[in-house]
Structure 1
Amino acid sequence: MFIKVGDREYPFHRIRIELIETGIQELFRLFDKKTIRELLQHRRYEHLKEKVIKEYTELLDVPAGIAIYQMKKNHDLFYKEFLNKYGDLTYCQFIVKGNDSLLSKKGVYLVIKNDELVFAGICNNTFKLRFNQHIGNISPKSCFRDGTATHCHINANIAEHIRKSTIYFQICPLTDLKEMKRLKNWIIDRFEPQWNLRFGSDVNYSYNNK
């Protein structure tokens, strides 16, 4: 597959997803590295401090995941304030299979579902690390406000569709971060992938697979 931008063609290489597990729910409850009190010291939770100290005193020194899960079990929607927008979805675990030489590089990656480009992103570490240890293996901490919403978002979408769709990655190795960002932004502006956090119109575009 190639994507042409101006006079330059960028080659993309297909990377297969191997599903390990799906149906993973309430992953946030396993986060036990900090208590609620410790979590409130982070700037992203400062706006919650007054309410928590006033109304949830008994949970202040409880591990954050357990405390928030207790709120959810009590049908208290305040628990969502501690999580990112995609922090309480159904996830999956997967690894990628493909050319190890390519996977050891960094660059731009795409998610393809049923031959439709649905997400574009950049990877400034190795593709293999990003896919196998981050996007494909969501950690409990990733579900929180100061976690990685993008990884939760992509993983949850893959989990939702992978049983009934053909989903795989396409990667384009690049070394320059500015070039990665330019290419990713061009792809998003041109194709408006559905899963990108920067949602545009409802129009779907397909790509040319060479």
Structure 2
Amino acid sequence: MTLTVNDKIFEFKIIPLTFIAKDISSVFYYKNNKTLEQTFSHRRYSRLKLAFTDIYNAHLDRKLGDFLKFLKEATDDNYLRFLNKYGDNKFCEFKIGTHLTDKGIYCYIKNDEIKYIGRCTDNFKKRINEGYGKIHPKNCFIDGQATNCHLNSLINTTVDVKFGVYLMTDKSTEEIKKLEKLILSANKYEWNIQTS
């Protein structure tokens, strides 16, 4: 696949993507390394502490994921206040099997249309397989990785359509940053949005 920006042509190669699971729900249930009270001590949750300490006083010693599961099952929408706006979406698990140690520019393509452009300055195994390809419970929370949740949930909807990951490698870290900026300044892609 090629992409033309300001009369420059960039070549991307398709990388096979393997889906392991789809429609994974309530991932945040499994964040149980802290209690509700410990969570309230984190600065990102201070506003929730003011609002909820008295209401949920009997639950302060509960593990956070278990507590939010309790709220969701009781149809108490306050559980959503702990999550980023994509944290309760359905997710999938996927991976690539080649170019794991490479870095560069990558794009997600659905039905031959570029949906997202991103940069990877460390390695694709970490960025794609461990970042976007598997949503960890912490990512679902307001102090987690909203972008990972957002993209993964969108990719989850593509498993029954033509979808691919394309990579452009062999660039230095500085070139990667400049190239991503150039591409995104010249084009708008549907999935490249601010998620915070």
Q: Using structure 1 for the length normalisation, give the TM-score.
A: 0.85
- What does residue 148 of structure 2 align with? 151
- What does residue 182 of structure 1 align with? 178
Within-5 A mapping of 1:122-141: 122-141=119-138
Cα pair distance change 1:12/1:89, threshold 3 Å: same
Within-5 A mapping of 1:49-68: 49-68=49-68
Cα pair distance change 1:130/1:190, threshold 3 Å: same
Say if 2:110 is the partner of 1:103.
Answer: no
Say if 2:31 is the partner of 1:31.
Answer: yes
- What does residue 41 of structure 1 align with? 41
Deviation at 1:196, TM superposition (A): 1.6
The runs of 4+ residues in structure 1 deviating greater than 4 Å are none
User: Aligned residues: percent identity?
Assistant: 35
Deviation at 1:80, TM superposition (A): 0.8
Mind listing any 5+ residue stretches in structure 2 that lack a counterpart? none
Deviation at 1:86, TM superposition (A): 0.6
Aligned residues: 194
Contact conserved, 1:117 with 1:191, CA < 8 A, in 2? no
Aligned Cα root-mean-square deviation (Å): 1.9
- What does residue 202 of structure 1 align with? none
**Structure 1: distance between partners of 2:168 and 2:96:** 15
CA deviations 1:132-175 (Å, max 9, x no partner) are 12211111111111111111111111111212x11111112232
Deviation at 1:3, TM superposition (A): 2.9
Which 10-residue stretch deviates more, 37-46 or 113-122? Answer: 37-46
Deviation at 1:7, TM superposition (A): 6.2
**Structure 2: distance between partners of 1:4 and 1:128:** 27
**Structure 2: distance between partners of 1:66 and 1:187:** 43
**Structure 1: distance between partners of 2:54 and 2:121:** 42
Partner SS, residue 132 of structure 1: helix
**Structure 1: distance between partners of 2:193 and 2:36:** 28
Mind listing any 5+ residue stretches in structure 1 that lack a counterpart? 200-210
Contact conserved, 2:14 with 2:165, CA < 8 A, in 1? yes
**Structure 1: distance between partners of 2:116 and 2:7:** 24
CA deviations 1:166-210 (Å, max 9, x no partner) are 111111223224x333322333343311112249xxxxxxxxxxx
Deviation at 1:75, TM superposition (A): 1.3
